Chains A and B, each alone.
Chain A
Amino acid sequence: MYKILNAKELTTNIYQMEVEAKRVAKSCNPGQFIIARMDADGERIPLTICDYDREKGTITIVFQIVGASTQKMAALKAGDSFHDFVGPLGCASEFVSEDLEELKKKKMLFVAGGVGTAPVYPQVKWLHEHGIAADVIVGSKTKDLLILEKEMEAVAGNLYVTTDDGSYGRSGMVTQVIKDLVAEGNHYDVCVAIGPMIMMKFVCLLTKELEIPTIVSLNPIMVDGTGMCGACRVTVGGKVKFACVDGPEFDGHQVDFDEAMQRQQIYKTKEGRDFLKAKEGDTHHGGCGNCQ
């Protein structure tokens, strides 16, 4: 069992939990993820590592309610436990193993969208701890849905917040901010974009034009997370890769986003139905269009 030390709702439908997992905390690095199960019958859910504390032996995860399982998970409180918590899975971000002096010469831009802010945070924090100030763009639909702003501010070089509705920070999509920053004379050697698939796709289209090499982190459907099932296969540069072991980070200019987005739909109708059923309970009357 893996004890939850802290649990809180960051904003509507986005939760943060600090979980005791000594082996994971000892060996994880930015870019990696974990898989958790709530109970003996639970689904294996891949989750982002938002932070880790090697001394305390804890991992901080952040997740958004997207279906029946994450809905159940959101109800867990400090003192409760996960039945299973395995990791770290996937490869660490490339910069972790790069020569530090070389890395210091590079100007990095991170682009985070929505809950994607969580996996960006440990990367920017790692760089900050190694004396590198990276610029960060955080995009959110609206002011209330923004997460980890203070935490990010503490580790980022320049932090640019933008909201789709203009309720806070700059106004508009993250792609607009990238354009503006470049137009203002900023030069970037590398861009790391993590967020909804559609955001990553458009960031990549833009950075390709701007000739900024871009890394994205994919979160496709997976079961075991160790290369066994192949559910997470994605096409990168015309080759089939498994996101769980070859990724989750890939060269964004090579990723077939349309296929990746299609593949995310495989269990959506079923998951959506289960979610509605769980939410509506006895009052569920087939409003999802799929139930009898």
Chain B
Amino acid sequence: MDVLKKTPVREQDAKVRATNFEEVCLGYNKEEAMEEASRCIGCKNNAQCIQGCPVAIDIPAFIGQVKEGNIEKAYQIISESSALPAVCGRVCPQESQCEGKCIRGIKGEPISIGKLERFVADWARENDIKPEGAAEKNGKKVAVIGSGPAGLTCAGDLAKMGYDVTIFEALHEPGGVLVYGIPEFRLPKQAVVAKEIENVKSLGVKIETNVVVGKSVTIDELISEEGFEAVFIGSGAGLPKFMGIPGENANGVFSANEYLTRSNLMKAFNEDSDTPIMRGKKVAVVGGGNVAMDAARTALRLGAEVHIVYRRSEEELPARVEEVHHAKEEGIIFDLLTNPVEILSDEKGWVTGMKCIRMELGEADESGRRRPVEVAGSEFVIDVDTVIMSLGTSPNPLISSTTEGLDVNKWKCIVAAEENGQTSKEGVYAGGDAVTGAATVILAMGAGKAGAKGIDEYLRNK
């Protein structure tokens, strides 16, 4: 064993997995996990990894238990801070959080904290270990809007403190982006997501699906008519952006949200599903984030030749390195420094191609990244039949527009305090993408935690 290197994790072969929707990463077994855990030097004071974790899991402590083979104890340590460890172990950007701060990483590779977390959570699930539940109920009702990472975390934490929590979910299935956004091959829905939601429910949390807050019921009604004493808004950032270029409404142009929702939530990848999905022959995915990678790898599995079209260079790709690496292995083609200018279609409105222009990197802009500039006269046409726009999402105004006294900023994000989620409206807290705009699962979970703390303080002092 080389202490400077991570214990390798087993993966499905790239050629095989490019044709199925089974999980790509197979995870550690107990032996591998214990071996990896033994690399941890167990920082006692001021462990950097904990500071890098938005929900502040006691990482050295849980890894210490894994080292000894006490997986159940390791699970209880993680559960104190996180309601969704099997999810986080799979989708957190560890390289820029816990692992990015790991002392081991200064010389050599950091501890594979994410894979260890995943192993512990999977082991607990397979051995039917549940998180430890609420002490005593205090009878106070709290409503949580949205059952994504922010909402589930907030609800779980409040339930553990004794609150009577109901989550309201607009879709027919709880999970939010974990269910409609992230594909099966990265995050199995039944085996992982549904089970973690069951764990949250086992803490006493109720989930009412098919309730669009702002339409079916308003926040004011929840408070005045249904007896909720506080509300947490974790409604995410669900509105897709389009480029505004000519031809964008042609048949065969989809938002990544639509494409992924059809495949993930509605199971359209499965031939037996009633929900249709367009199985293109040649697909262009516009954008370079994690969602773009997910859409591209989904289209690939549905049988298409897939191109990622991104206006900057590889270095600026906002997607996680691991996702880009997996996408390349599977055969996704990267057309970098390329920007669409028009979608071409036939006389019946079906996409026949996408006109693009070459870009080059100019001076750095406010974000510190070099600004892409068009190369004059470099237009060319990519011959595609499907275009998936993956340009980011913004918060849905359904709630903010129907709740009086709830302040939003110019991007329609709800204004809420970072430390406790407090909004401009009394008793109403918010967190996650609804506040920050599209970010990560774990940041939303961190905000859910802060919101739970804020609500607890508010209700105890009320």
CA distance A26 to B217 in the complex (A): 9
Whether A37 touches B172, Cβ cut-off 8 Å, given contacts A84-B209, A87-B216, A88-B216, is yes
CA distance A44 to B261 in the complex (A): 11
Tally A residues with Cβ within 8 Å of B: 40
A23 touches B172 (CB 8 A): no
Residue of A nearest to B267 (CB): A41
Closest chain-A Cβ to B342's Cβ sits at a distance in Å of 15
Chain A residues with Cβ below 8 Å from B171 are 224
How many A-B pairs with Cβ below 8 Å? 111
Whether A44 touches B215, Cβ cut-off 8 Å, given contacts A86-B210, A223-B266, A265-B251, is no
B216 touches A86 (CB 8 A): yes
Name the 7 nearest CB pairs between A and B, nearest first.
Answer: A262-B349, A229-B258, A86-B210, A43-B274, A84-B172, A230-B255, A228-B238
A235 at the interface (CB under 8 A from B): yes
Report whether over half of chain A's contact residues are helix, strand or loop; otherwise say mixed: mixed
A130 at the interface (CB under 8 A from B): no
A226 touches B212 (CB 8 A): yes
CA distance A33 to B267 in the complex (A): 24
A263 touches B349 (CB 8 A): yes
Chain B residues with Cβ below 8 Å from A41 are 267, 272-274
A44 touches B172 (CB 8 A): yes
CA distance A235 to B242 in the complex (A): 13
Whether A226 touches B276, Cβ cut-off 8 Å, given contacts A85-B210, A87-B216, A263-B249, is no
Contact with B along A228-246 (1 / 0, CB 8 A): 1111011100001000010
B212 touches A87 (CB 8 A): yes
Contact with A along B269-282 (1 / 0, CB 8 A): 00011111010000
Closest chain-A Cβ to B238's Cβ sits at a distance in Å of 4
Chain A residues with Cβ below 8 Å from B255 are 229-231
B215 touches A27 (CB 8 A): yes
Residue of A nearest to B218 (CB): A27
In the complex, besides A27-B215, A229-B262, A265-B348, 15 extra interface pairs with C-beta distance below 8 angstroms are A24-B216, A84-B210, A88-B215, A88-B216, A223-B275, A224-B238, A226-B396, A229-B258, A234-B249, A240-B249, A262-B348, A263-B249, A266-B251, A270-B276, A271-B276
Closest chain-A Cβ to B194's Cβ sits at a distance in Å of 12
Could you tell me which residues of chain B, from 249 to 269, have a CB within 8 Å of some CB in chain A? 249, 251-252, 254-255, 257-258, 261-262, 266-267
Residue of A nearest to B236 (CB): A228
A86 touches B398 (CB 8 A): no
B240 touches A86 (CB 8 A): no
Chain B residues with Cβ below 8 Å from A286 are none
B211 at the interface (CB under 8 A from A): yes
Chain A residues with Cβ below 8 Å from B276 are 267, 270-271, 274
B172 touches A227 (CB 8 A): no
A209 at the interface (CB under 8 A from B): no
A56 at the interface (CB under 8 A from B): no
A89 at the interface (CB under 8 A from B): yes
Which residues of A line the B interface, CB within 8 A?
A: 23-24, 26-27, 37, 41-44, 68-69, 83-89, 223-224, 226-231, 233-235, 240, 245, 259, 262-263, 265-267, 270-271, 274
Closest chain-A Cβ to B346's Cβ sits at a distance in Å of 11
Residue of A nearest to B273 (CB): A41
Chain A residues with Cβ below 8 Å from B252 are 266
B172 touches A83 (CB 8 A): yes
Closest chain-A Cβ to B357's Cβ sits at a distance in Å of 22
Chain A residues with Cβ below 8 Å from B103 are none
Chain B residues with Cβ below 8 Å from A230 are 240, 242, 254-255, 257-258
Interface CB pairs A-B, < 8 A, 26: A27-B217, A37-B172, A43-B275, A86-B170, A86-B210, A86-B212, A87-B216, A89-B215, A223-B261, A224-B171, A224-B261, A226-B238, A227-B396, A228-B180, A228-B257, A228-B396, A230-B242, A230-B258, A231-B255, A231-B258, A240-B242, A240-B244, A240-B249, A265-B251, A266-B251, A274-B274
Chain A residues with Cβ below 8 Å from B170 are 86, 224, 226
Chain B residues with Cβ below 8 Å from A233 are 242, 249
Chain A residues with Cβ below 8 Å from B272 are 41
A86 touches B238 (CB 8 A): no
A245 touches B398 (CB 8 A): yes
CA distance A270 to B262 in the complex (A): 14
